[in-house]
Structure 1
Amino acid sequence: MIFFPARSALSRLPRIPLAADSVSMLASAAQFRSTLLEQIALAKHRIYLCSLYLQQDEAGAEILQALYAAKAAQPRLDIRILVDWHRAQRGLIGAAKQGGNALWYQEQSRLHAASVPIYGVPVQTRELFGVLHLKGFVIDDTVLYSGASLNNVYLHKQEKYRHDRYLLIKNAALANSMVQFIAQHILASSAVHRLDTPDIPSTRGMRREIRSFRAALKAARYLLPQENRALPMSPQNDSETAGLSVTPLVGVGKNNPLNRCICQLLAASTQQITICTPYFNFPLAVTREINRALKRGVKIDIIVGDKTANDFYIPPEQGFKLIAALPYLYESKLRQFAKLHQEQLTSAQLQLHLWRDGENTFHLKGVWVDQDYLLLTGNNLNPRAFRLDLENALLIHDPEQQLALKKQQELASIYLHTKNVSHYSALEKLQDYPPEVKKLLSRLSRTRLDHLAYRVL
């Protein structure tokens, strides 16, 4: 039997036992929204929502009003909302100048007698160099986990949706671990302030606190009950890891535990890897492990959004904005990768799947390895996620394949709107792009600024 050190490292991760019937995989953004609203209405003790943003639109208002109603009905309900500090205080990218969601939070606070605190979390002194990208909603002892933020498109409130992954786990130990992390490592920091109250401090005036906060986050970990910590296993015995379990992971900055776990997952593969990412821009460490897996004979499926399903895509007829070049930048990276691996594409050892469903967008992230590991995360598997943003994930180990049917159903729903790319030439090249995009990307390539863009966008 071949022994994989990476699989041994994975087996030593602390973990929480799960019951198979406590895990549900929701099929759609609309179902995610209805489930979230239902859980908020049923809450008895606590609601902790962690998201990149809570947007001032119809879906955002629906969620916020549900929270105020829950608090009014049960004044002792512990509600905490966490959003990114910078994102909450600016308008949408490409839109006219706006005051940001923080002004809306304050207006809603004045209109309601009940208190629903909304905290801004500054992971870095500037948004470009790091944001709050933690995911997970804890309602009593239930965890709703998704890469989605809270607005119309992520929650499919109107015509368009942004497809993501949606997991519901009923497990007190996992819920407690996630709440404890928020309370101990985020809310206790002097860099974190409420945005639903006036007199918000300036970012400039908090630079020292923010740097100290980021440094502390690098050492922060989810705490699990002592009895759930894994014991070292021997190379000859995998039975000690038997049983469905989940491990919450968190990381920020280079070489953090979450990054290492993602690479270990890929390195542990013996048969099959499936990867979802909305922005094709793997870090070097991930590319290296993919190449090694291909050499081992592992079959790899990569599911990525078509450039028109990218949330930054703007149809050429609607005019050009700088941000609209990003989907083309990612597609050019994908084309280079496909060309390099054409032999594996031809043999079908490597398969590339482009997701597209009308004018809807694609936001799925995650990794499936062999039949026993699946990773749910907000991590985009790109250099920014590996170096700048505060990210987390739930790693599920399923050695007895108790979730096999649910996993198959989730993947089937993802593949439903994909087409296979069997040759790199099926992807457009620079010469095919709109003139403004072609001009910009050519300029970036000449000055090598495209490498910088890949690292921060």
Structure 2
Amino acid sequence: MRSILAAAVQRLRGRRQTATRLEGLTCIPVTVESVVNLEGPGEFSATLLERIANARERILISALYLQDDTAGREVLAAIYAASAVRPELQIAIFVDWHRAQRGLVGKAASPGNAALYVEMARRLGPGVPIYGVPVQSREWMGVMHLKGFVIDDALLYSGASINDVYLQRFDRYRLDRYHLIENRALADSIAGLMTRILQTNTAVRRLDVEPQAKTGSLRGAIVGLRRVLARSRYAITAGSVGNGEVGITPLLGFGHRDNQLNAVILQLIKRTERRLVVFTPYFNLPGPIRRALEGRLRRRCRVTIIVGDKTANDFYISPEDPFKTIGALPYLYESNLRRFCKIHQGDIDEGLLDVQLWSHEHHSFHLKGLLSDDDYALLTGSNLNPRAWRLDLENGLLIHDPQGGLHGQHQAELGRILARTRRLDHHTALDDTGTYPVPVQRILKRLARTRADRLLNQVL
């Protein structure tokens, strides 16, 4: 019995040791001039296409999806063109296995984006391998949410995937955060996980060839992949930050145990003394984050939460349009926010809690990340919700900026975002559930009656 208890204690100690303090994290020194905050989806799209066209060594992309639409076809065609000019290019694209093989939520059934990959490979040749990464045997249990575009020595990092709205085609955009970082060591680190961990795993299969494996036949391999991911980290060589430099640490997050990204997020919140800025697209905070924020408010730290208005949610359906069940989600998130603001109305009145709602015409909001005081920033694809916290495969970049070299860029980005927001002075400024469309009221009442709303919040 003692040996069993001793082993359990040792495992817990090992778990604590994995949650390294921020100051002790290994980082990659990067010159301030090498970090550029791109101003919007248009500049991000133009930069991506320009970098692809001029690639000399490699194009490695990780995104939730590359969609069969105008922007998706344009990016894929550009990569095929680059491959034709330079056949020696190292090329690989990684997307979620499940998402690639279904249609859009709320739309008619379809073979998904994989049909595009097969069609283009058949027509243009096998020069652009596209891999499906199955984080779980079912999509609702977890998806591949890693982000990063490695082109030669540069890393384009954004929470955006590849489709018309993310790349601002036609008359709509979905706002995210966009950073271009020129650094060989950082690019190698992000690329290494794609090629060293994902590309070589038996659970990860090509989506641009036929026949494609059935998910059922991969169950054993998926279990093995999950075990590998649970103990994986980005490989980096330690360096010290000199004058005119920042330190960047790439972080991997997977599962609710020993999750490096989650641990750093909590440490980042808890170490903030003066001002913390939180970006999240869907207000559905995991319990640990909510409690950490409440701890900061008790210590009179100013907390700013920037979240999308329900009308800026991906799934919002105008009351004039035919209703679909998925359209209840934005209202569920608004209900979460209203309860949170009601509990913390005193903090709002004192100016400690600043909740900013973003909206811009018919465009949507997808920002994620943190700004802590003036010396730390987190870029991430994590939505900071329970699904990201427990189920999805996530990543992020922690930037330590002890000299404040990027302070101006962060403030300029924040200013552009806040230009489209309105401050919530009182929780009653948010719509009450009684004002929601009748179909939404029915769904939310049914969920609350069966307590299914709590379960739903854990997987959304």
Range class of TM-score, shorter chain: over 0.9
The equivalent of 1:394 in structure 2 is: 397
The equivalent of 1:180 in structure 2 is: 192
The equivalent of 1:253 in structure 2 is: 255
Q: How far did 1:400 drift?
A: 0.4
> Which letter does structure 2 place at the counterpart of 1:73?
V
Report 1:357-372 matches (<5 A).
357-372=360-375
Asked if the contact 1:191–1:206 (Cα under 8 Å) also holds between the matched residues in 2, the reply is: yes
Q: How far did 1:240 drift?
A: 9.8
* Worse overlay, 107-116 or 29-38: 107-116
Segments of structure 1 that go 5 or more residues without pairing to the other structure are 1-6, 231-238
> Which letter does structure 1 place at the counterpart of 2:224?
S
Segments of structure 2 that go 5 or more residues without pairing to the other structure are 1-18
1:351 aligns with 2:363: no
Alpha-carbon distance in 2 for matches of 1:347, 1:423: 12
Asked if the contact 1:86–1:127 (Cα under 8 Å) also holds between the matched residues in 2, the reply is: yes
> Which letter does structure 1 place at the counterpart of 2:342?
K
The equivalent of 1:413 in structure 2 is: 416
Q: How far did 1:315 drift?
A: 0.8
Alpha-carbon distance in 2 for matches of 1:308, 1:48: 34
Report 1:132-151 matches (<5 A).
132-151=144-163
Report 1:38-437 matches (<5 A).
38-113=50-125, 115-225=127-237, 227-228=238-239, 243-255=245-257, 256-437=259-440
Q: How far did 1:182 drift?
A: 1.0
SS of match in other structure, 1:316: coil
Return the match for 2:444 from 416, 441, 446: 441
Alpha-carbon distance in 2 for matches of 1:378, 1:258: 11
1:32 aligns with 2:35: no
Q: How far did 1:397 drift?
A: 0.5
Q: How far did 1:179 drift?
A: 1.0
Asked if the contact 1:19–1:244 (Cα under 8 Å) also holds between the matched residues in 2, the reply is: yes
Give TM-score, length-normalised by structure 2: 0.94
Q: How far did 1:94 drift?
A: 0.6
**C-alpha distance 241-203 of structure 1, shift in aligned 2 (>3 A):** farther
Residues 36-70 of structure 1: CA deviation (Å, up to 9, x unaligned): 00000111000001000000100001100000000
> Which letter does structure 1 place at the counterpart of 2:37?
M
**C-alpha distance 424-241 of structure 1, shift in aligned 2 (>3 A):** farther
Q: How far did 1:355 drift?
A: 0.2
The equivalent of 1:235 in structure 2 is: none
Asked if the contact 2:148–2:157 (Cα under 8 Å) also holds between the matched residues in 1, the reply is: yes
Asked if the contact 2:233–2:252 (Cα under 8 Å) also holds between the matched residues in 1, the reply is: yes
Asked if the contact 1:72–1:114 (Cα under 8 Å) also holds between the matched residues in 2, the reply is: no
Q: How far did 1:320 drift?
A: 1.4
Alpha-carbon distance in 2 for matches of 1:169, 1:240: 17
Alpha-carbon distance in 2 for matches of 1:197, 1:107: 9
Q: How far did 1:332 drift?
A: 0.2
Alpha-carbon distance in 1 for matches of 2:343, 2:189: 43
Q: How far did 1:115 drift?
A: 1.1
The equivalent of 2:16 in structure 1 is: none
Alpha-carbon distance in 1 for matches of 2:100, 2:193: 22
Q: How far did 1:317 drift?
A: 1.5
RMSD in angstroms over aligned alpha carbons?
A: 1.7
> Which letter does structure 1 place at the counterpart of 2:302?
K
Runs of 4+ in structure 1 deviating by more than 3 angstroms, as ranges, are 239-243
Residues 269-322 of structure 1: CA deviation (Å, up to 9, x unaligned): 010000010000100000110010001110000000000000011112212111
Alpha-carbon distance in 1 for matches of 2:150, 2:137: 28
Asked if the contact 1:68–1:114 (Cα under 8 Å) also holds between the matched residues in 2, the reply is: no
Alpha-carbon distance in 2 for matches of 1:216, 1:429: 45
> Which letter does structure 1 place at the counterpart of 2:270?
A
Give TM-score, length-normalised by structure 1: 0.95
The total of aligned residue pairs comes to 443
Alpha-carbon distance in 2 for matches of 1:160, 1:34: 16
Alpha-carbon distance in 2 for matches of 1:164, 1:383: 20
Residues 56-93 of structure 1: CA deviation (Å, up to 9, x unaligned): 10000110000000000000001100000000000011
Q: How far did 1:354 drift?
A: 0.3
SS of match in other structure, 1:317: coil
Q: How far did 1:434 drift?
A: 0.3
Residues 193-233 of structure 1: CA deviation (Å, up to 9, x unaligned): 100000111001110101110121010000101x42x7xxx
SS of match in other structure, 1:18: strand
> Which letter does structure 2 place at the counterpart of 1:307?
K
The equivalent of 1:455 in structure 2 is: 458
Q: How far did 1:113 drift?
A: 3.2
Alpha-carbon distance in 2 for matches of 1:184, 1:244: 27
> Which letter does structure 2 place at the counterpart of 1:14?
T
SS of match in other structure, 2:21: helix
